[in-house]
Chain A
Amino acid sequence: MREREDEWTDLMRSAISGDDAAYHRLLKAVTPVLRAAARRGLARAGQPVDQSEDIVQDILLAVHLKRQTWDANAPFAPWLFAIARNKLIDALRRRGKRIFVNIDDFAETLPGETPEPTASPGEVTAQLQALPARQRDVLQSIAVDSASIKDTAAKFSMTEGAVRVALHRGLASLTAKLRDR
């Protein structure tokens, strides 16, 4: 487990120095751990575990938008689990449940435990529809059609810079909508 967490820290350091592939690998690697913990939290609160994917997506968005609060000299896992715990508590509170979430729920997940997503998550998709057209088009092109930034720019006759701005703004306002819903 120690090894796994050291690997995450290394991947995050590479990501911050501009390695997009390392960032992609990192997010892929942490997702099953977050998913298992979200399920455990929901189950303990007596909630259906099929909502776990919405929580996982919430956590991933927060991780992405708050990366600048991670100290590159500190290990990555405690930072990640603090965000995850915060988002899980938020999600349970929104469902009217007050529950103590143990930070060990995250740390304890075994590397072999890799649950697949159960239900398709609806909250991000729903909020996506409420975004301004330009941001929604760019997000959809990159997320759903797997287009690169370059292809997306060509498709909408935008500059790559404008695509990047729309992409980031779209993710930020998506997160704001999820938070204030």
Chain B
Amino acid sequence: MDTDQLIRTLAADNAYRARPIGLALMLALLAAAPISLLIFFAELGVRPDVMTAMHNPFFDLKFAVTLALAASAIAVSLHLSRPEASLRGFGWWLLIPAGILVAAISGEMMMPQRTPMMTRLIGKNSMACMSAIPAMSLPLLIGALYGLRQGAPARPAVAGAVAGLLSAGLAATVYASHCTDDSPLFVATWYTLATAIVASVGALMGKRALRY
């Protein structure tokens, strides 16, 4: 097939309209969410004292951090799905959840505490956190990568890592309602480690899946 023939064929297909990437990503995440929620309710469930916990600002801050991570990673993912885009000028979005976390840690430092710092940091649920967040993230990550395949990222591994951040952010939001460790020190340690694992898996998977 010579190039003129190819061009004619492509022009004949001009009527085809692909889904916008934002919509494709949203639909794929909605399709994957029930699987993650199933893992959550089968294995963990919401903590029993959730009604009282809601009055603790540090419980609520966990959601601020994880939702900020999910939202900024979604924005960066959509940006990176364009071939000419890079992290430059956009990467700082990902610092928003880190900023909230730092503010929360300083807030907690200023308050009188009954338990020592290391006890709060180590907590009681570190292993559950490290396994539940990656497990719940995996279906979301696969969904996110599937949706983002509509895109054309210049660096598929970077785009995959950001997809990992977004799925970890969503999974951690649900997980936070189970976890009884509310100290920002715990969140900064274990949630971050779990998120890093998911981001690395995302980079490895994205490297292949997001090539165009």
Contact = CB atoms under 8 A, between A and B. Distances in A.
A143 B150 CA distance: 25
Interface stretch (A2-10, A23-31, A39-47): A23-31
A99 to B, nearest CB: 16
- Chain A, interface size category, equals 35 or more
Contacts, number: 112
Contacts of B18: 65, 67-68
A11 B187 CA distance: 51
Contact of B21 (A27, A28, A69): A69
B16 A168 contact: yes
Contact of B14 (A15, A65, A70): A15
A120 B212 CA distance: 24
Interface in B126-163: 150-152, 154
Given A68-B18, A79-B82, A120-B2, A27 B12 contact: no
A27 B12 CA distance: 12
Secondary structure type dominating chain A contacts:
helix
B6 interface: yes
A107 interface: no
A64 B1 contact: no
B15 A69 contact: no
A167 B14 CA distance: 11
Given A24-B11, A164-B13, A168-B13, A69 B2 contact: no
Contacts of A28: 4, 7
Secondary structure type dominating chain B contacts:
loop
A130 B18 CA distance: 24
A121 B150 contact: no
A79 B82 CA distance: 8
Given A83-B152, A86-B154, A57 B3 contact: yes
Contact of A128 (B1, B4, B8, B11): B1
21 contacts: A18-B14, A19-B14, A20-B12, A31-B3, A53-B3, A57-B3, A60-B3, A61-B6, A66-B151, A68-B19, A69-B151, A70-B82, A71-B82, A79-B83, A86-B83, A117-B2, A124-B6, A139-B9, A149-B12, A167-B12, A171-B9
Interface of A: 15, 18-21, 23-24, 27-28, 31, 53, 56-57, 60-62, 64-71, 78-79, 81-83, 86, 117, 120-121, 124-125, 128, 139, 142-144, 146, 148-149, 164, 167-168, 171, 179
